[in-house]
Amino acid sequence: MRDATCSAPASLLRLCACAACRPALAPRRPQSTKKKKGIMSLDRFFKRVGTNVESSSSTNKGLKIDLNDLPWDPFERKPISSYHPSQKDEIRRAYLLKGPCQPTMSVYPQTLYTNKFRKFNPEWYTQQHGNWLEYSVKADKVYCLYCYLFRESGQNDAFGYEGVRCWNKVKRFDVHVGDCNSFHNKSLKKGSDLLKEAQSIHVAFDKQTEKQKKEYRIRLGISVKVARGLLNGGLPFRGHDESDKSIYRGHFIEFLKLMGEINEEIGNVILNNAPGNSQMTAPSIQKEICNCFAEEVLKKIFEELGDDVFSILVDESRDISKKEQMAVVLRFVDKLGFVKERFIGLVHVMETTTISLKSAIDELFARYGLSFDRIRGQGYDGASNMSGEFNGLKALILKENSSAYFVHCFAHQLQLVVSDH
């Protein structure tokens, strides 16, 4: 396992500084990159034609991993969280089939513990902890295979992550195993479940016949088309009574029914002809589809805006359920020189204080990658929380960017004039 060029005697393995003998000085496993909050989009449902999945190199998504070439020494392994979610179980299964990394050496490095040298004992492999115990030759530490494989983010047990050198305190192995509800024992259970092929998600998925998959796609496609039609017309989706007995079950379901009546192939797989848990008509599904469309529309708006400067128009109001809502509009000049005003969303705010409104705008800007430096104008009504000279939203934004000139909204001014007379 050592560098062929290293001439240090085996007993000095730990003191030798050559690359192979002293890899413990090398950087630890790469930290898992924080998961970017996924923007909901129609891509979740449909594979786009002509997109090359493998070209997305920012993550390891789509990169093929050679399961026979996974790092064997626990010290050299990447955290499981750094692999793409679709590959994790495959990698876990490959490691489980290989079993714990338990190399045997003629001589083990020694570590000094209060006047006594101690070293790793290979007999531990055959004792009660042998099913999970792993030894890294490179780091001279022990690891736990199961805790490594099923480690969750934020779970920092040393056996699953950075390894332990405790040759003088073997009881730490027992402490690591813990009681029946310990993380280690839960990981063991997950490992044995994963190896049971019948419970594998791939098997469950493969069990779905091509016919079922086709029917699901038809149902989803129709729900998306109906949602698009309703959104285009600005029509409500839901009805007051959506039960089977209702004479009108809301636009969404009624339009679906209509589609089913027109096309028999569709009618045979939607609503009551679909499995109860996959009708694609639940309110949450309707909302999810709408959110996907909203994201697509916003993507287009931000493409139109590009890296250019813009103004913001903000107004707040209570909705029918007395929740404070803030409407945000961007005003900008597009690439052809036309002035565009684009509504980018209603933001729910807990209260209408200046700080609360500002933090809601901060959050919105962060979400869409906008910067306060790009603001060249701001327009609000005359309320003190918005247009106040010292503590209004206007003043707070001006503090960040002095080019964000304020204009009292003309429509609000007109309304003041009209209501005065």
Contact set with Zn ion (CB under 5 A)? 144, 147, 184
Q: Which amino acid is at 73?
A: D
Choose between 158 and 329: whose C-beta lies nearer to Zn ion. 158
Comparison of 174 and 400: residue with beta carbon closer to Zn ion = 174
Residue type, 305: L
φ, ψ of residue 110 to 5 degrees: the values are: -105, 145
**Contact in structure between 144 and 186 (CB atoms under 8 Å):** no
Q: Which residues contact 27 (CB under 8 A, 6 or more apart)?
A: none
Query: At 209, phi and psi to the nearest 5?
Result: -75, 160
Q: How far is the CB of 47 from Zn ion (least distance, A)?
A: 38
| Nearest distance in Å: CB 135, Zn ion | 14
Shortest gap between Cβ of 147 and Zn ion (angstroms)?
3
Shortest Å, Cβ 191 to Zn ion:
10
Residue 318: phi and psi, rounded to 5, are -90, 140
Our CB check for Zn ion shows the closer of 185 and 352 to be 185
Q: Contact at 8 Å (CB) between 111 and 118? A: yes
**CA-wise closest residue to 71 among 98, 33, 109, 31:** 98
| CB of 144 or CB of 393, closer to Zn ion | 144
Residue 409 has which token pair? Answer: 């909204």
Specify the residue, 24 or 177, whose C-beta has the smaller distance to Zn ion: 177
How many other C-beta atoms lie within 10 A of the C-beta of residue 305? 21
Neighbour tally for 157: CB within 10 Å: 18
Q: How far is the CB of 139 from Zn ion (least distance, A)?
A: 17
Nearer of residues 108 and 148 to Zn ion, judged by Cβ = 148
Q: For Zn ion, give the closer residue by CB, 147 or 328.
A: 147
HSE-CB of 199 using CA atoms within 13 angstroms: 10
Dump the DSSP string for 224-242: HHHHHHHHHHT-----S--
Cβ at position 183, least distance to Zn ion in Å:
7
Least distance CB 31 / Zn ion (angstroms): 21
